[in-house]
Amino acid sequence: QLSWREYRSRLCKAETPYYMRRASLHTSIWAHEIPALERGCVLITKPKKRVRKGGEEGTVGNDQLVVLLLQHDPIHGSYGLILNKPTPCGIGDFTDKLPAFAESAIHFGGEGHHQLQGQEVNRELHAIHTCPWVANAEEVIEGVYLGADLRHADRLVSLGKVRARDFKFFYSATIWQPGELEAEMTSGRWLAAACHKDLISNASSAWEKPLWRTLLDLIGGKVA
């Protein structure tokens, strides 16, 4: 049975001309632009046009960020995690209490220096994963969860009930004060998109191209 997100993606695909969606024709992985921000969507820095040598036009991006939006509220502001900024550090570099995750990379989630809801709750380790039975997990979209009791998760990995690679770890977060994200959307900094859960949960290295480019190619049209 299709989730509403999968069903919506099929409708969008059916309404998009063939020549604008070539990258998504032979894969079950999907992404499409959405008109309004929603929890669990991804924000993609919009590509910019430049003229290359010889007068040929190409598509480029500045920072080429992909951010998973976890909260968007006109009163309390918004926050998310940058999905495509892994660091050279792993969990084992900071603690020996989570041996099952010792080799798991830590991603840079964002600057995280603004106040959100009156407190700096974002200078901490965040976990995104695909395991609903891990304690303290909160569903973001179907099949993707935020938060975990990491010692419980570590035990489950040690017992072979879940895989360490099903978890992605992030230090800090990307924060917007009320109205800031809306202003950035209006200025054209971000493209909002819904996408297949694997594009969120899998390592960026799982894709043939960088995650930013993979998403743009799947969305197709003018942004590809």
Of 21-35, 157-171, 194-208, least confident by mean pLDDT is 21-35
Per-residue model confidence (pLDDT) at position 224 = 60
Side-chain-side CA neighbours of residue 88 (13 Å): 0
114's tokens: 């603004």
Q: Report the candidate in 168, 125, 122 with the shortest Cα–Cα distance to residue 145.
A: 168
92 with 102: CB under 8 angstroms?
yes
Give the confidence band of 23 by pLDDT, cuts at 50, 70, 90. Answer: low
Per-residue pLDDT, averaged over 207-221, amounts to 90
> What would the DSSP string read from start to end of the chain?
---HHHHHHHHHHHHS-GGG-GGGTT-S--EEE-SS--TT-EEEEPPEEEE-GGG-EEEE-SS--EEEEEEEETTTEEEEEESS-EEEEEGGGT-SS-GGGTTPEEEE-----S-BTTB---SSEEEEES-TTSTT-EEEETTEEE---HHHHHHHHHTTSS-GGGEEEEES-EEE-TTHHHHHHHHT-EEEEEE-HHHHHS-GGGSSS-HHHHHHHHH-GGG-
Per-residue model confidence (pLDDT) at position 119 = 46
Per-residue model confidence (pLDDT) at position 18 = 54
Cα(81)–Cα(70) distance, integer angstroms: 8
10 or 89, which is more confident? 89
Q: Report the candidate in 125, 155, 149 with the shortest Cα–Cα distance to residue 136.
A: 149
Per-residue model confidence (pLDDT) at position 111 = 86
Per-residue model confidence (pLDDT) at position 121 = 46
Give the confidence band of 152 by pLDDT, cuts at 50, 70, 90. Answer: very high
Per-residue pLDDT, averaged over 195-204, amounts to 93
Q: What is the mean pLDDT of the chain?
A: 86
Per-residue model confidence (pLDDT) at position 53 = 54
Buried b (16+ CB within 10 A) or exposed e, 74-105: eeebbbbbbbbbbeeeebeeeeeebebbeebb
pLDDT digits (tens, 9 = 90+) for 89-132: 999 999 999 999 999 999 999 987 555 454 444 458 999 999 99
The pairing of strands 77-82 and 138-141 is unpaired
Compute how many other C-beta atoms are within 10 angstroms of the C-beta atom of residue 176. 22
pLDDT digits (tens, 9 = 90+) for 47-69: 876 555 555 555 555 689 999 99
171 or 7, which is more confident? 171
